[in-house]
């Protein structure tokens, strides 16, 4: 099923068992922010970026190293070297994603990001492990992978927010590439560029979601109903602090940036605990100047 009908999707999804695949990745990879800078093309449709702020490349690199060390406590995590000619390369999850035995390559909107998909080292890494490639660059739809598409890997469900970074053709291409059981398409609120800023699904059993990030709050309510009672609802201010840009890389720990975690209330922290997650946090304020946060930095390996 791939649909915009929230009620039909919810009825379909509630009948599914969490037997589609692993709820969390078996490994992950990062791309280091070498020559960290802000990409002007990306800023044209990313309201979380401000080209007027100064950036410190060495501080960004140090924060990224700390992220690598922290995530390695949850699962094996490798890092590929960045390229100053690819300033958004530290957010590889938009360009590369995996399903078991398959590497998916996204169709990026901006030329500055399209060049990342040609990296022979990352593609060669997966080829050496026997992963087949599914390259979505030639199909007509724009689809920025797990930036636009939030995947519940346990149940085989996709939640795809449509914006300049993903259209319906792109959503359909990703639905097929990941072999999903069902995908719900919905419009993001004006000014939102990626779904993974407004929501995250944690290990298939909890959702962190900001209704203000959706053009229609009914879509957010329908998604939340699938994970009740483990729903952490965010305010717009918490979304702006990247509290929605989190990930669970093991069944017992969720990760987000220090700014995102600091924005949560005591009750929201308790909600994470009630869902079975300790909350890991890493300071990423320098990297967040580029309009993404912790989830954006992580490409999962299934």
pLDDT tens-digit readout, 113-160: 999 999 999 999 999 999 999 999 999 999 999 999 999 999 999 999
How confident is the model over 228-250, as a mean pLDDT? 98
Q: Check whether 43 has a pLDDT greater than 80.
A: no
At 77 the pLDDT is 98
**Cα-based angle 33, 34, 35 (whole degrees, multiple of 5):** 110
In this structure, the strands spanning 149-152 and 157-162 are: antiparallel
Helix axes 217-225, 6-14, angle to 10 degrees: 10
Q: List the domain range (segments joined by +) for residue 244.
A: 2-301
How confident is the model over 167-177, as a mean pLDDT? 98
Q: Check whether 33 has a pLDDT greater than 90.
A: yes
The number of folded domains in the chain is: 1
Q: Which of 41-55, 84-98, 225-239 has the lowest mean pLDDT?
A: 41-55
Query: Band of the pLDDT at 112, cuts 50, 70, 90?
Result: confident
How confident is the model over 245-259, as a mean pLDDT? 98
Q: Check whether 93 has a pLDDT greater than 80.
A: yes
CA distance 183 to 293: 24
At 259 the pLDDT is 98
Average pLDDT in the chain: 97
Could you report how far apart the first and last alpha carbons of the chain are, in Å? 23
Q: Check whether 182 has a pLDDT greater than 80.
A: yes
Alpha-helix runs per DSSP H in the chain: 6-14, 40-43, 57-71, 111-114, 120-128, 145-148, 168-177, 195-198, 217-225, 236-240, 258-262, 266-274, 294-297
CATH value at residue 222: 3.75.10.10
CA distance 221 to 30: 32
Q: Check whether 47 has a pLDDT greater than 90.
A: no
Q: How far is CA 180 from CA 20, 28, 160, 161, 250, in A?
A: 9, 21, 12, 16, 21
> How buried is 11 (Cβ within 10 angstroms: 0-12 exposed, 13-18 middle, 19+ buried)?
exposed
How confident is the model over 100-112, as a mean pLDDT? 95
What does the block give as tokens for 265? 């209330």
Query: Band of the pLDDT at 22, cuts 50, 70, 90?
Result: very high
At 45 the pLDDT is 81
Helix, coil or strand: residue 187: strand
Residue 3: phi and psi, rounded to 5, are -155, 165
CA 248 to chain centre: 11
Name beta bridge partners: 49: none
How confident is the model over 242-246, as a mean pLDDT? 98
């Amino acid at each position: 099923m791939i649909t915009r009908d929230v009620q039909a999707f919810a009825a379909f999804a509630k009948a599914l068992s969490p037997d589609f695949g692993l709820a969390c990745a078996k490994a992950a990879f990062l791309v280091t922010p070498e020559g960290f800078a802000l990409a002007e093309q990306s800023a044209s449709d990313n309201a979380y970026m401000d080209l007027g702020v100064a950036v410190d490349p060495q501080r960004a690199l140090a924060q990224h190293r700390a992220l690598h060390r922290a995530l390695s406590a949850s699962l094996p995590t490798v890092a590929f070297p960045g390229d100053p000619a690819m300033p958004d390369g530290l957010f590889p999850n938009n360009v590369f994603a995996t399903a078991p035995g398959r590497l998916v390559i996204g169709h990026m909107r901006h030329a500055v990001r399209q060049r990342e998909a040609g990296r022979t080292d990352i593609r060669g890494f997966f080829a050496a492990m026997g992963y087949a490639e599914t390259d979505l660059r030639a199909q007509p739809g724009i689809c920025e992978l797990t930036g636009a598409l939030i995947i519940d890997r346990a149940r085989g469900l996709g939640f795809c927010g449509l914006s300049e970074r993903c259209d319906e053709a792109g959503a359909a291409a990703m639905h097929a590439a990941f072999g999903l059981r069902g995908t719900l398409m919905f419009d993001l609120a004006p000014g939102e560029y990626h779904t993974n800023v407004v929501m995250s699904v944690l290990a298939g059993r909890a959702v962190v979601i900001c209704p203000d990030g959706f053009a229609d709050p009914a879509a957010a309510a329908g998604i939340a109903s699938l994970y009740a009672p483990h729903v952490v609802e965010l305010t717009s201010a918490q979304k702006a602090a990247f509290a929605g840009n989190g990930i669970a890389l093991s069944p017992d720990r969720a990760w987000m940036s220090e700014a995102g975690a600091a924005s949560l209330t005591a009750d929201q922290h308790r909600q994470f605990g009630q869902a079975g997650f300790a909350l890991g946090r890493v300071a990423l304020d320098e990297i967040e100047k580029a309009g993404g946060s912790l989830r954006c930095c992580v490409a999962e390996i299934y």
